[in-house]
Structure 1
């Protein structure tokens, strides 16, 4: 910085940001050598690394990551679309951060809310120069995802996509719900109702899994699907319908854990014992389901493994040159907890 620049900085009461040149001057090395150390590139000796890192710390130097990436015309950012209301998505994001950092990438998040749709969320991710998009539970039509995948690497997490232009990482939802129904049937339940999740692909697969498992267990006559969605409110509403029908089932399977928790709350307020009078099960094994106050029987989708596969798929496309698209289907796992028991 020239003298006038220094004067302006002092006049504004700010301290100039330490530069790479300042660190190099402190240790008496070239900026190229200092850059190698700060980027973790092999070559410099351990003594040199120690000197450079101590000098950088003493000066308060922080690399200008944006400038560095811009110079290489790479952002090394993976854009993640997340439903702000989903505890399971929050857990996925945590694991995605870990997986991305391990391979030298970072995440930029864009939220989907009740008033902010998927298209806006995706446009924001692209505006931040995301190199690939990891979409958690997208509900957009397959044609829209296909069109997006032709311009940007897209990884859809959690749902089927009938497309050759989108990578998919998901669990076998039909099998997961089937495991719950089998578990309940094994406990002697016959009247098993299901609280639906809506009209999207994930909800459709889980609803089909319920119907198929009921037929497999000889319970086709007891199939009972109640309208719902992914929220606690949907579970509460379904519980009120069941209570008002005069035909309370002995077990209820909910589309996800949030809906199941709404069921538990409404049944509890009505004085219905769970699992004494009614067994309840959810899906996702999110952080709330594991709390002692809920102790919810559910199905694990293995968030950590899904996140790892999603990041790997993105990096293979960006750095590995992979052009073939693929679908990774993970096996879900029933987790029996305290909200299900044998018919009394």
Structure 2
């Protein structure tokens, strides 16, 4: 790692071997977002019907604290917060990849149909498990997450196959994705009519996206997936930067455009599918986090690291609101939708104005 201060370049850190150049502003944004995330996790653990002061939260995390506090922190609240961090980071990174590949701020797993494909798989298992009671245990432990993961991967393969025309065209990919999302949504609604009322209610709870049932059993799988997939995307950061100058320039610099896009698209699909399998379809995090990171860092395209940290922060803060605000506890997906829907309308209006200009 070295400091780059050459004339004509933006000052920052050049990370040897990865072809990355980190701007000081990006480093500052990531650091501030990480600090906010830490505070949000601590608040998530301390607040609730049984309140624990912030200092005592850190005391428990360091191995001390009363036995009653240790049970509330370590057995109930900490795993839920960790799953929220991992799911939000995966969604933020997936959204940054999708938006960079398509060069479209509206591209996200929600819009492109990945989460709806995962929902089809999960709701299929829920519907049939409700019809055959002996399958319910398997469905809760393995069936729903596995079916969600496979459904998301199949939707991603369909998106890739239908978008391919001598390469991946971003505008075509968004249009195909909207079509896949519409088909997936209608399949989900049809599946809801197959089972009885209890099955439909259970499926609707999953479809809103929730971390209420998250426990230590969910942490290893999501942590392993994010821990493997996130570093792989760092090797694609340089490729994403080159692709912003156009395909001809990228090929002139020796980048295998089609192969690079294919690999990065596969990584984005895997990240989105894993996040959906762990917590259900938490909407708008993958759409908003990369665009917020883009504006805070003032760079040409969505920064991957900042998108991850901001995605985790948005998810944990939304789940904190879902768990602590007065009234009935709502799924985290409800709060992200309330915050994300106006932001989506803002992006649509802005894109339309830019197209007119």
Q: TM-score, normalised by structure 1?
A: 0.29
Q: Which one scores higher on RCO, CA 8 angstroms, separation ≥ 6?
A: 2
The structure in which a higher percent of residues are strand is: 1
Higher radius of gyration, 1 or 2: 1
